[in-house]
Structure formats: structure tokens, C-alpha cells
Amino acid sequence: MPAYCHPLAHRAFRQALQSLESTSGLFRAAFAIAQHELPEAEVSRAEAVIVELAATVRRRVHSSRFEAKLAHLHDVLFDIVGFEGNVDDYYNPANSYLPEVLRTHRGLPITLALVYKCVGEQLGLRIEGINSPGHFLAAVHPESLAASSTGDGLMFVDPFFGGALLSRHDVYRRIESTTGHAPKAGINWLAATTHQQWLSRMLTNLQAVFARSGRERDLYAMQELQALLQ
């Protein structure tokens, strides 16, 4: 039994890790993190929200073309539903909690990217997380385009800022503005993240938030979850 983490959250996180290679396993593990503070939250309800969002997009798409799926995905998530970054209360732990992100449509880059990935993949899109320094992004693999504006076949997406489509140069500029340092040559700053790395960054974010606000027991709880990843 964990000493600090809510037992339900600890158990759900451990169980979800058994299928972490799947997007469903990633979603369930990320959801379990929130259950430390929101044990009453039900993952089945959250999964139903993802399904309904994808269904809403699907009803609007009248073409099998990649461009049509992507355009309507962005229209629904960012223009109609209004998912965006919580710039006014960035360090609120709720920004890392999927139940709250799905309820308020506000969150951190990493949780918004997860919602984007889960909905988009139900439409047949291939979406990965990009664990870039200072600002988590999503990347879409175009199906019908020979190459995107990035020049390497990927389309970088920033769900925190309204689903903005970014070139590789745009991303490097954001890394520099966020971290205060120019990306070093020879390092692939835009490599796709593993699901384990995705969860680790979420937990690291929360540890920083709890340390900042003096919530030591919650900080230790996130450390107990992170230990399960090792």
C-alpha cells in the first residue's frame, strides 16, 4: 500500500501500466494520476467524452482525406468546444488532471496534447507526443501529403495555443523563448515521446507544482506513482 498516494489512484495507475503501449493504457494511467485528488472521478465517463468528441468530428467530415479530418478535428476541439491552455492559472494542479481538463476545457500543453491524441486517433489519424523542452507538443503524421511544411513529413501542433500548426523552425523558436536557451545542435529536440516518458513528465510537472505550494504529502504521492514507472 502506498504511504501517501490515494490507494485507488495507485492501484488504477499500476493496472493501466500493464497496457501502456496502447493509447487507451496511456489515457487510463494519466487519468489515474488525477484520482489521487479526485477519487470519485470515473474513467469510463472520461472515455465516453473522448468517444463523443470523435463522433462529433466524424459527423462533420464528408471526406476520407487527411486534410478534411484534421480541419474538422481542429474546428471541433479548438473553435467549438474551446480547448485551450490555462494561461491565467497555469500552476493549478487541475491543469494536469484529465477529468478537470475535459470538464473545463483548460489545461497544460501535455494534457491538452493527450486529449488531442485520443480524439484524433479515433478518426484514424496517427498522433504522437513531442517532449520538447519547456512546452509539450503533438505531431501528426500526414497520410496523403508527401511532406508537410516541416520538411520531414510531420505536422507539429500546439494544442495549448488553439491547435496552431507549427514548422520545425517555429518549434525551435518556441523552445528558445520558453527556456531562454537556443536548442543545441546534434540533439533531436522533436523526437516522439514514449508513453512512459509522457507520464513521467506529467508527474514531474505535478511534483514541481506541489513543491511550489508546499504540498509535501501530494508531492510524495506523485513520487510513489513515478516509482511504478521504473
User: Phi and psi for 157 in degrees, rounded to 5?
Assistant: -125, 135
d(CA 145, CA 111): 27
Q: Taking the alpha carbons of 23, 27, 30, 33 in that order, is the dihedral positive or negative?
A: negative
Strands (E), 37-124: 84-85, 106-107
* CB neighbourhood size of 209 (10 A): 20
DSSP character for 88?
Answer: S
Strands (E), the chain: 84-85, 106-107, 126-130, 137-141, 155-158, 164-166
Q: What three-state secondary structure class fits 64?
A: coil
Nearest-5° Cα angle at 86, 4 to 30: 40
Name the residue among 132, 133, 138 with its Cα closest to residue 116: 138
C-alpha cell at 175: 523552445
Cα dihedral: 25, 14, 104, 39 (round 10): 140
Chain centroid to CA 142: 19
In tens digits, the chain (230 residues) has pLDDT values of 899 999 999 999 999 999 999 999 999 999 999 999 999 999 999 999 999 999 999 999 998 899 999 999 999 999 999 999 999 999 999 999 999 999 999 999 999 999 999 999 999 999 999 998 888 999 999 874 433 334 457 899 999 999 999 988 888 888 877 777 776 665 677 889 999 999 999 999 999 999 999 999 999 999 999 999 98
92: left (phi over 0), alpha (psi -120 to 50) or beta: beta
C-alpha cell at 16: 493501466
Find the radius of gyration of the CA atoms of the chain.
17
Q: Is the pTM of this model over 0.85?
A: yes
Nearest-5° Cα angle at 13, 11 to 15: 70
d(CA 95, CA 181): 26
d(CA 127, CA 51): 16
